[in-house]
Each structure stands twice: as structure tokens, then as C-alpha cells.
Structure 1
Amino acid sequence: MATRRRLRASLRAMANPTALLETSLGNITVELYLDKMPITAGNFLKLAKSGFYDGLHFHRVINGFMLQFGCPHSRDPKSPRAGTGDSPDGTIRDEHPADAKFSNEPGTLSMANTGAPNSGSCQFFVNTVHNGYLDWFSPGPSKHPVFGRVTSGMDVVHAIEKTPTDRNDRPVTPVQMKKVTVQEG
């Protein structure tokens, strides 16, 4: 037990990792809340380090709401299955720590899920407005834990947000995630 406490204290002392998201419309840098959201941020980090996100496309973009990304089927930006896939490791456990009540504010990264408990996997979204009703600690059925935030590149986030979309909220001109590079804190 003492070893776990020392490990947690050591993790808290280190800076959170960041990731550079290189998109076809520009770069976005994000901080990942590994100190407070180890399951969700750790899942993103593992997938990013493996190259899972490289070459995928944003499959759902809603102006005045959010940008969604991370489905393995979105490698083909026209795939009808885009938005339905999980990571090779499957789903992760919901993470709702009492000391990490981060709201779905503009520029935050939040875990996408099906609405069912423990259904988050590889897909996440970037909030472009305050979507407090999506907070895991707010009333209602939708529970999406925030696990990071944009530290630079909100202009790129807004450029993606303004991309014309079809009736399924898919960008008409595909927006690709060229590469995600993790920088440890």
C-alpha cells in the first residue's frame, strides 16, 4: 500500500504528458490529465504511442458543439462504419473520480461512448462550446469524462469545426489526423 502511495505522489509531482495532433488543417497541442484521469488519459496515450490514431479522419463535426475522432473505420473517410469502431483492446471502465470534476468546456477532450456504462474506447471529442450537460457529474443520461485540454491550436479546432459537412455530420472534404506524437511530462 505504501508503494502505491509513493507511486501516486511521484505521478502527481511529474508534469502531465502532452500530445501534438498533426491534422491536415494544422497542429493542435493537448495536455492529458494523466494525474487525475489515469484510465482515460492512459488509454489515449497507449493508443497514440502505438500509432493507432495516425491516418484516421474526423468522422463527426458539428459546428457550435464538437469534433469527434478516433474510430478505426474512419481510415476510409467515406466508410459507412465510421463512428462505430472500438480500439483493438475493446472498451475501458468509466472514470468518475470525485477530485476530477472537469466540465466539458471549450477546448477540452472528452471520452465518447455509446451512452451505456463502460462503453468508452478509442473515440473522443473536442468540445468547441461549453457542453456542461455532458459532464459525468451532471443530471441526465449522457456521461462523458474530460481527460485533457487543448493548450495551443484552438484556431485549428475552430477551422475543423467550420468545415462543411454532409447530412451525417461528416466533413465533405476529409480532415485527417496525420500523426499523434506524445511528449512525456
Structure 2
Amino acid sequence: MTTSAAEDAPRVKFVTTQGDFTVEVYPDKAPKTVANFLQYVRDKHYDGTIFHRVIENFMVQGGGYDAKYNEKPTRAPVPHEGREALERGGPHNTVGTLAMARTNDPNSATAQFFINVKDNPFLDPVPLPPGDPVKKFEYHGRTYENVPRSQLLNAAQLYGYTVFGKVVSGMDTINKIKAVPTGSGGPFPTDVPQTPVVIQSATIVKK
């Protein structure tokens, strides 16, 4: 990423009950994902939501539920841009990066996001070699040959997660969040902070 691109990156400040942190996002890497995220920020969607899934050696996830575990309404899902973002030189799922959460459907991301608290390369989209059929392709230690490109394009397990930003200040806050005691809460049997970690506000601080 060029210095000028980083300098132009929009930033969002989160104020939480565990402290503040700021992320920058990369519209040149994942334009639809970033536009979607910033619209939720402008709509104050994240204000009053919690980090409902916290796994100390993995990631912290939030942006979807209020403090009473009511799921907030969302707009239509955003198309998956993970592979394109990497091809444009975007970041991988490494410590401090910001990615969209989703269901098993790659194109299901709406408002929820997560912040990696360790390097999670298995969450990265898998690049596809050129050609149709793809002459040779490796995945999880196995080699596949002469696979129709459409088959790989439609393989949900190859999509990974779209990284679209990173924490640029307040990583100490993220480290506090990842260390909070967790258990059951609301509809979730595990990984819920026993003292709610609430996002009090999310504000665009640089456009």
C-alpha cells in the first residue's frame, strides 16, 4: 500500500466500555465492503451494540446485537470481496486487521465485523490460479488437477473472509477485550463476555 493511499484511508473511532480504538479502512481494496461498513457507522447502527463473541487466541466479534442480545436489523448483504481485496494488495487476516463476519454463505455479510487478535491465515481467501480448467490447484495439502474453474469459484470453503481495514490506534483496548472472562449469554452457549463490552459510539473521524 502506498503512503498516500494510507493517508487517504477513512478512519472510524470506536468508544467502548473497555476503552477506545480507531480503525482505518481501505476503499481501494474492498470498495463495496467499506461503503457498507461506513454507512452502518453513519446510521449509528453500532452505537449500543456489544462484542458478543470473544475468543482470546482468535478474534473479537461484534456489531450485531444490543446489550439485551436483540439482533439489530440490517440492510441487504454485501457481495464478498475477499479475493479481489487480496489481489489489490489488501491485508491478510493478521493481528489487528478488520474483517467482515458472515454465515457459511460467502455473500451473507451485513453489519457484523471481527478483529483478528492473532495471525489467522486459514481465514484468508484462497487465490485461484489462471486457466479453465485450472491445471493444478493445492488446498489443505492436497493437489487437485484439471478442475473446472466454475467449480472452484463456487466452492464456499475457498472464499475466506474479507479484510477491509486495520486497527491503527487502541490495540491495547482490543487486547483488554480479548482477555475478558467469557461464558454463556443470551442465545449463545459460549464466548460471550460476562461483563458486556458495549460499543458506546462509532464515528467517522477522517474521510
TM-score interval, smaller chain: 0.7 to 0.9
In the TM superposition, residue 76 of structure 1 has moved relative to its aligned partner by 2.8
Q: Does 1:182 align with 2:204?
A: yes
What SS does the corresponding residue of 2:13 show, helix, strand or coil?
strand
TM norm structure 1: 0.84
In the TM superposition, what are the counterparts of 1:37-52 in structure 2 within 5 Å? 37-52=30-45
Distance 2:31 2:20 in 1: 25
Inter-CA distance 12–128: structure 2 relative to 1 (3 Å threshold): closer
1:128 is matched with: 117
1:33 is matched with: 26
In the TM superposition, residue 101 of structure 1 has moved relative to its aligned partner by 4.4
Please report the RMSD computed on the Cα atoms of aligned residues, expressed in angstroms.
2.1
1:159 is matched with: 176
Higher alpha-carbon deviation: 99-108 or 45-54: 99-108
Once the two structures are aligned, what percentage of the paired residues are identical? Answer: 37
More strand by share: 2
Structure 1 gaps of 5+ residues are 1-10
1:112 is matched with: 101
In the TM superposition, what are the counterparts of 1:59-70 in structure 2 within 5 Å? 59-70=52-63
What SS does the corresponding residue of 1:44 show, helix, strand or coil?
helix
What SS does the corresponding residue of 1:47 show, helix, strand or coil?
helix
In the TM superposition, residue 34 of structure 1 has moved relative to its aligned partner by 1.4
Identify which of 47, 54, 67 aligns with 1:54.
47
In 2, are the aligned partners of 1:19 and 1:181 still within 8 Å (CA)?
A: yes
In the TM superposition, residue 131 of structure 1 has moved relative to its aligned partner by 0.4
In 2, are the aligned partners of 1:115 and 1:143 still within 8 Å (CA)?
A: no
2:8 is matched with: 15
Identify which of 93, 110, 129 aligns with 2:79.
93
Structure 2 gaps of 5+ residues are 128-138, 141-156, 185-189
In the TM superposition, residue 86 of structure 1 has moved relative to its aligned partner by 5.7
In the TM superposition, residue 143 of structure 1 has moved relative to its aligned partner by 1.2
Inter-CA distance 17–172: structure 2 relative to 1 (3 Å threshold): same
Q: Which amino acid aligns with 1:62?
A: I
Q: Give the ranges of 4+ consecutive aligned residues of structure 1 lying more than 6 Å apart after TM superposition.
A: none
In 1, are the aligned partners of 2:29 and 2:90 still within 8 Å (CA)?
A: no
Question: Deviations along 1:124-162, whole A, 9 cap, x unmatched?
Answer: 100000001001126572610100000010100000000
Inter-CA distance 103–55: structure 2 relative to 1 (3 Å threshold): same
Distance 1:107 1:61 in 2: 14
1:5 is matched with: none
What SS does the corresponding residue of 1:59 show, helix, strand or coil?
strand
Distance 1:125 1:16 in 2: 19
In the TM superposition, residue 119 of structure 1 has moved relative to its aligned partner by 0.8
Inter-CA distance 92–172: structure 2 relative to 1 (3 Å threshold): same
Inter-CA distance 86–64: structure 2 relative to 1 (3 Å threshold): farther
TM norm structure 2: 0.75
In the TM superposition, residue 100 of structure 1 has moved relative to its aligned partner by 3.5
Inter-CA distance 13–176: structure 2 relative to 1 (3 Å threshold): closer
